[in-house]
C-alpha cells in the first residue's frame, strides 16, 4: 500500500505562495495540488496581502463514510 493510505483523513499543506492576488493564489493552489496528484482538495484558508498569500490547502485521503484506505492493511511500499 502507498504511504498516504495511512493518513487518517486529510493532508494539510500549509504554505505561503507568491502571487499577485487571491484569485491567482487559488489557481496556484489548485495547480500545486494537481501536480502532487492530490485532486480531492479544498482550500481551507487563503489570505492575500502584499507579495503573496498564506494558504492551507487540504487534500482528503479518507472522507467519513469512505472505505478507509488504512483498513486495507499491508506493508508500506518503498
Partner 1 sequence: MTKKRVLLSPLDPVHDIGLKMIKNALDEAGHDTYLLPPDVTPGEIVEEALEKEAEVILLSRTLGYGVAELLGRFVDLVEGAGIRHRVKIGIGGMAIKPAIAAELGFDQGFGPKTPVEEAVAFVEGKTYTPPREGSAKRKGDLVRERTYEYHHQEIKSLLEEISEKTLQWYEKIQSPGIKRAELREKGLAGEKEYLEISDDSIKDFFSDGILPSGLRLIDGEEQKALESIISAGRVDNPRILQRQPHQPLVFIQYGTGCPFMDIAHVKGTEGWGADGVVHFDPSWGAKTEGLLSGLLSHEENGSVITDENLKLIKKALESSTLWQVRAHRGLNTPETVLLAGEAGAELTKINPVYGSLGGGTDPERLLADSIKAMEYAARYKMPFDMPTNEELCGVPAYKAFAGMLIVTQLGLALGAQPVLQPLFCYSPEMMLGGQMEDNYIDYNAAKVMALRGIIDAPIWAGAPIGFLTHTEERVQSSVSTSFHAGMAASLEIEGISIASADEAYSGGPITLPARIDTLQGTGEAFRFLGSARMQPTPKAEEWAEELTENILKVLKEVVKNGSFLDSLYQGILGSQKEGAYPGRNGRGTVLKRK
Partner 2 sequence: MKVIGVAGTAKNTGKTTTTMALIETAGEKSIPLAVTSIGLDGEEFDQVTGLPKPRLKLPEGAYIITAERCISGGTARLETVKELKAQTPLGKLHLARVKKEGRVLMAGPNNRRDLDEVTQSLEDSGAEILIVDGALNRMAPLAGTDLFILATGAARTSNLATLRRETRTLVKVLNLPQMVPGEKTNRSYMISETGTVFLETDSLLSGEKVKKVFNGKSGVKEINIKGVLTGEAFAELGKIVSPEGCRIVLSNPINLLLGENLQELNKAVDNWLKSGGKLGVEFGLSLQAITINPFFPDWQERGRFYQPRFVEEKDLKNSFRSLGVPVINVVREGGNRLWGAVFSEK
Cell numbers standing for residue 35: 501536480
Q: Return the residue matching grid coordinates 472522507.
A: 63
Of the CA atoms within 13 Å of residue 8, those in its CB half-sphere come to 0
What x-and-dash track marks residues 7-46 binding partner 2 by CB under 8 A? Answer: -------------xxxxx-xx-xx--x-------xxx---
| DSSP-derived secondary structure letter, 51 | T
Residue with smaller CB distance to partner 2, 25 or 62: 25
3-state helix, strand, coil in the chain (%, to 5): 25, 35, 40
When binding is defined by CB under 8 A, the residue of 1, 8, 15, 39 that contacts partner 1 is: 15
**Which residues of this protein are in contact with partner 2, per CB under 8 A?**
20-24, 26-27, 29-30, 33, 41-43
**Which residues of this protein are in contact with partner 1, per CB under 8 A?**
14-16, 18, 20, 22, 49-52, 54
Amino acid at each position: 500500500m502507498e504511504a498516504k493510505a495511512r493518513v487518517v483523513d486529510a493532508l494539510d499543506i500549509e504554505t505561503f505562495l507568491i502571487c499577485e492576488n487571491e484569485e491567482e493564489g487559488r489557481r496556484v493552489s489548485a495547480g500545486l495540488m494537481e501536480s502532487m496528484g492530490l485532486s480531492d482538495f479544498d482550500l481551507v484558508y487563503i489570505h492575500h496581502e502584499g507579495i503573496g498569500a498564506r494558504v492551507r490547502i487540504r487534500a482528503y485521503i479518507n472522507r467519513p463514510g469512505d472505505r478507509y484506505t488504512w483498513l486495507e492493511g499491508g506493508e508500506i511500499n518503498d
